[in-house]
């Protein structure tokens, strides 16, 4: 048996096209487009590269995009004032502060200063709480878990009554996706188990999973014999395990990425599987765009 | 084998004595006591009885207690103004609005108007979010789940690495206790599964639980053969299954209560078990007092 691949790269294109069409329609009807501001403090190459990709994607789907770059020595007070400005700006529906911030700034204080109704990353305690409460309360599910749920749904995998096992209990992936899958409603209604470093028998739990979501950050942690035949395996791990010459320019080295699942062997057992790279990765920015569009729709009362 | 009983009635006394001592000490050192306001709208007998018990307990532990009774026809606007008044009142550290509210008032709007730092019930989205984030973020875990965790810890049951199965996914018990038990730290670090009405094989999950927490609201749902020998069984169900003459006054009828677990048979298999009544029930108001004390301690910077 060879698993059906769930490709984030393909699903991203589908969703971005849907968003583009919806943005155009809302613009026509309401004369507004979603506005996203990206706040970048300093010039760390990794941060610049992430922000650039977000900006590019926002432009592609027709958003109003504001790029606000600040020097690395901006004071916490000034950064908070900047956030306050965008909280009050009616043309902005999503505020993104690229992490990490310089050490003299309290990350948490800055993120918690974002208006929860513009917190399209979904990490503000209010949005975390809304996510756990579920139903109509939910505004912005965090982007990676939202992407995972979307991939499962679009692959046509049944979630209602399914045994979902989540490996990892991070605030970015493990805990939110577990809370999402257990709720009532579409793409959820699953029996959910969270396993982690203290779990006694990781293998036994993985073996009974109809949907196995692995976000442990340990390359190759999940062995093929831990996978139930036909299961849907979502690999959230993106581990740099070495370097290789770039395909485009062999004089440059690029990272070799490996997931938390032994992909080559697992794909012979699983029914569905996400590759690394090209699986969950491309979904995060996609769902960020989705949340920003949703934010405008909430504001217009059409969500 | 006969299980060790975990009695909420006894643990309540221990905790209330600890709180009383700590309140006296803080009063001596800081010249302040925890302040709790109970807001009761209308005169429903059940609500009056709950509020009375809260007030009585607050007095017992030495709190400053304000009883604010409002007529059933109070407007939503006036109720919101009242909450704002107590949000600003420095002598008040906990605000309780007794539910249900009359139909012309939006429950959610009222509860969300409470300052999250005085929301000792722990149901405000900010506090739900803090609970899921975990660690130092947590301020006020909701009272029933907090009581359950406290009972498990005080009974000396090991939670780290334990298989915890939570039956029920309510916002009041199931989801919060699951989120609490999976966190790092004392009284937690468990492998957690949430099962519910859509779960395919409820019995199989219950059978592998070292700690089984049942909050389904279905009398006798959990059969004795579903219990792993030696397991810790926490029965949150309080189901009225009939009436009987009162022991104190046989001319009056009182409710016959039954839990979600078949207690008589289960206690022969479990290692630890909570009875109904007298198990989890008494813990809720106890933990409300605990949260109110904690609120003052946060304010004084000694939490």
3 state SS of A141: coil
Is the Cα torsion angle B37, B43, B44, B49 positive or negative in sign? Answer: positive
> Nearest Cβ partner of A171 from B124, B133, B161?
B133
Average pLDDT over residues A281-302: 98
How far does Cα A299 stand from its chain's mean position? 23
| Confidence check: pLDDT of A247 > 70 | yes
pLDDT of residue A39: 98
Asked if A130 lies within 8 A of B129 by C-beta distance, the reply is yes
Query: Is residue B54 annotated as part of the catalytic site, yes or no?
Result: yes
Binding residue per annotation — A2? no
Mean pLDDT of A132-138: 96
CB of B185 within 8 Å of any CB in chain A? Answer: no
Q: Is A106 on the interface with B (CB under 8 A)?
A: no
What's phi and psi for B272, nearest 5 deg?
-140, 145
B124 and A129 in contact by Cβ < 8 A?
yes
DSSP label at B63?
A: -
B279 pLDDT band, cuts 50/70/90, is very high
A238 is in an annotated binding site: yes
Q: In what order do the strands lie in the sheet with B4-5?
A: A4-5, A272-273, A232-235, A211-214, A163-167, A191-195, B191-195, B163-167, B211-214, B232-235, B272-273, B4-5
SS3 content of chain B, % helix, strand, coil (to 5): 40, 20, 40
Grade residue A1 by pLDDT with cuts at 50, 70 and 90.
Answer: low
Closest by Cα among A213, A162, A210, A152 to A190: A162
For chain A, the helix, strand and coil percentages under 3-state DSSP, each to the nearest 5: 40, 20, 40
- What was the pLDDT predicted at B1? 61
ipTM: 0.96
What is the C-alpha separation between A288 and B211, in angstroms, rounded?
38
Say if B191 is an interface residue toward chain A (CB within 8 Å): yes
- A174 min Cα distance to partner chain B (Å): 11
Q: Are A231 and A253 in contact (CB under 8 A)?
A: no
Average pLDDT of chain A is 97
Q: In chain A, which segments carry CATH 3.40.50.720? A: 142-284
- Asked if residue B163 has pLDDT above 70, the reply is yes
Quick one: average pLDDT of B138-153? Answer: 98
8 Å CB contact of B129 and A125: yes
Band (pLDDT 50/70/90 cuts) for residue A259 is very high
Which helix or strand (DSSP H or E) is residue A75 part of?
none
- What six digits make up the tokens of A200? 């006694």
> Pick from B160, B169, B192: which is nearest to A194 by CB?
B192
Within chain B, what is the greatest distance between any pair of CA atoms?
58
Tokens of B298: 């946060």
Q: Provide the pLDDT for residue B137.
A: 95
Structure token digits, residue B72: 């059933």
For residue A111, the tally of other CB atoms under 10 A from its CB is 18
For A75-122, write each residue's pLDDT tens digit.
999 999 999 999 999 999 999 999 999 999 999 999 999 999 999 999
- Residue written as token pair 């009554």: A161
- The class level of CATH for A32-121 reads alpha beta
What is the average per-residue pLDDT within A242-258? 93
Most B CBs within 10 A among A166, A196, A210, hence the mutation to make, goes to A196
Residue A285 pLDDT exceeds 90: yes
H/E stretch holding A174: helix A174-182
Residue of B121, B210, B235, B262 marked catalytic: B121
* Backbone region of residue B212 per phi and psi (left: phi > 0; alpha: psi in -120 to 50; beta: other values): beta
- To the nearest 10°, the Cα dihedral for A179, A184, A187, A191? 60
With H, G, I as helix, E, B as strand and everything else as coil, classify residue A27: helix
Q: How confident is the model at residue A199 (pLDDT cuts 50, 70, 90)?
A: very high
Per DSSP, the residues of A226-259 read: GSPTT-EEEE---EEEEEEE-SS-TTSEEEEEE-
Q: Could you report the per-residue pLDDT of B15-50, keeping only the tens digit for each?
A: 999 999 999 999 999 999 999 999 999 999 999 999
- CA-based angle B169:B173:B174, to the nearest 5? 30
B98 catalytic, yes or no? yes
Answer whether A132 touches B (CB < 8 Å).
yes
Tell me what the pLDDT averaged over chain B comes to. Answer: 97
**Is the pLDDT reported for residue B4 higher than 90?**
yes
- Inform me whether the pLDDT recorded for A156 exceeds 70: yes
Cross-strand pairs, B235 = B214
Report the SS3 class of residue B258.
strand
Question: Is there a contact between B116 and B58 (Cβ–Cβ < 8 Å)?
Answer: no
A187 assigned to a ligand binding site: no
Q: Do A182 and B194 touch (CB under 8 A)?
A: yes
Residue B130's closest CA among A104, A175, A228?
A175
**Interface mutation vs chain B, best among A114, A122, A125, A168, most B CBs within 10 Å:** A125
Q: Among all residues of A, which ones are annotated catalytic?
A: 54, 98, 121
Question: What confidence score (pLDDT) does residue B233 get?
Answer: 98
Cis peptide before B100 (omega within 30 of 0): yes
Q: Which of B128, B126, B120, B222 is nearest to B166 (CA)?
A: B222
Separation between Cα atoms, residue A183 and residue B178, nearest integer Å: 13
Start and end residues for every CATH 3.40.50.10860 domain found in chain A: 32-121
Contact flag A195-B198 (C-beta cutoff 8 Å): no
Across the interface, which of B129, B179, B200 has its CB nearest the CB of A126?
B129
Q: Is A193 in CB contact (< 8 Å) with chain B?
A: yes
The SS3 of residue A224 is helix
Produce one character per residue of B171-189: b if its CB has 16 or more CB atoms within 10 Å, e if not: ebbbbbbbbbbbbeeebbb
Q: Is A160 helix (H, G, I), strand (E, B) or coil?
A: coil
For A82-131, the DSSP string reads HHHHHHH-TT--EEEEPSPPPTTS-HHHHHHHS-GGG-TT--SHHHHHHH
- Tell me the Ramachandran region of residue B42: left when phi exceeds 0, alpha when psi lies from -120 to 50, beta otherwise: left
Nearest to A279 by CA among A239, A235, A223: A235
Q: Residues of B numbered 56-75 whose beta carbons fall under 8 angstroms of chain A's beta carbons: which are they?
A: none
Quick: pLDDT tens for B210-242: 999 999 999 999 999 999 999 999 999 999 999
The tens digit of pLDDT for each residue in A34-44 reads 999 999 999 99
Distance CA A34, CA B89 (A): 40
A204: left (phi over 0), alpha (psi -120 to 50) or beta: alpha
Tokens 């030495």, residue located: B62
The CATH number of B142-284, from 3.40.50.1100, 3.40.50.720, 3.20.20.70, 1.10.357.10, is 3.40.50.720
Question: What confidence score (pLDDT) does residue B136 get?
Answer: 94
């Amino acid at each position: 048996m060879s698993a059906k691949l769930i490709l984030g790269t393909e699903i991203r294109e589908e969703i971005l096209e849907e968003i583009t069409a919806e943005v155009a329609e809302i613009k026509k009807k309401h004369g507004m487009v979603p506005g996203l501001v990206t706040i970048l403090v300093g010039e760390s190459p990794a941060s610049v590269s992430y922000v650039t990709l977000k900006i590019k994607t926002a432009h592609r789907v027709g958003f109003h995009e504001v790029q606000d770059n600040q020097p690395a020595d901006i004071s916490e007070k000034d950064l908070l004032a900047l956030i306050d400005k965008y909280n009050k700006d009616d043309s902005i529906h999503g505020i993104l502060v690229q992490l990490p911030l310089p050490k003299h700034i309290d990350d948490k204080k800055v993120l918690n200063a974002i208006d929860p109704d513009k917190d399209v990353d979904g990490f503000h305690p209010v949005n975390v709480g809304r996510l756990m409460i579920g139903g109509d309360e939910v505004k912005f599910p965090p982007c990676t878990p939202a992407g995972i749920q979307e991939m499962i749904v679009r692959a046509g995998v049944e979630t209602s009554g399914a045994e979902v096992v989540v490996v990892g209990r991070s605030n970015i992936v493990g805990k939110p996706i577990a809370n999402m899958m257990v709720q009532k409603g579409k793409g959820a209604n699953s029996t959910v188990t969270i396993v982690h470093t203290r779990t006694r028998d990781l293998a036994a739990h993985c073996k009974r999973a109809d949907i196995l979501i692995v976000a442990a950050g340990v390359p190759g942690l999940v062995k093929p014999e831990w996978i139930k035949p036909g299961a849907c395996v979502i690999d959230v791990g993106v581990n740099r395990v070495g370097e290789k010459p770039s395909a485009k320019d062999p004089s440059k080295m690029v990272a070799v990425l490996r997931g938390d699942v032994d992909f080559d062997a697992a794909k012979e057992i699983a029914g569905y599987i996400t590759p690394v790279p090209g699986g969950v990765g491309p979904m995060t920015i996609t769902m960020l765009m989705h949340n920003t569009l949703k934010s405008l729709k909430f504001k217009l009362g059409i969500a």
